[in-house]
């Protein structure tokens, strides 16, 4: 996914489905490097582990 699209999704109030490695995730934030994002599994509680992933591997459904 491109950087600008990640920013659009983060600022949107819409529920935009994205996946990482085929698994549905929420994008929590774009990291300072502009190349990675922090994500967590959809449907997980607030205590679920978050992962730092390369935004190029995040796909919009």
pLDDT score, position 32: 95
Q: Which CATH class is domain 3-60?
A: mainly beta
pLDDT score, position 22: 95
* Of 35, 34, 31, 32, the residue nearest 50 (C-alpha): 31
Give 4-58 pLDDT, tens digit per residue.
Answer: 999 999 999 999 999 999 999 999 999 999 999 999 998 877 667 899 999 999 9
Q: What's the CA gap between 61 and 22, in Å, rounded?
A: 10
């Amino acid at each position: 996914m491109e950087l600008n699209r990640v920013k659009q999704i983060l600022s949107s109030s819409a529920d935009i489905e994205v996946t990482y490695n085929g698994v549905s995730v929420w994008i929590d934030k774009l990291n300072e490097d502009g190349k990675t994002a922090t994500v967590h599994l959809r449907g997980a509680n607030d205590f679920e582990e978050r992962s730092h992933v390369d935004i190029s591997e995040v796909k919009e459904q």
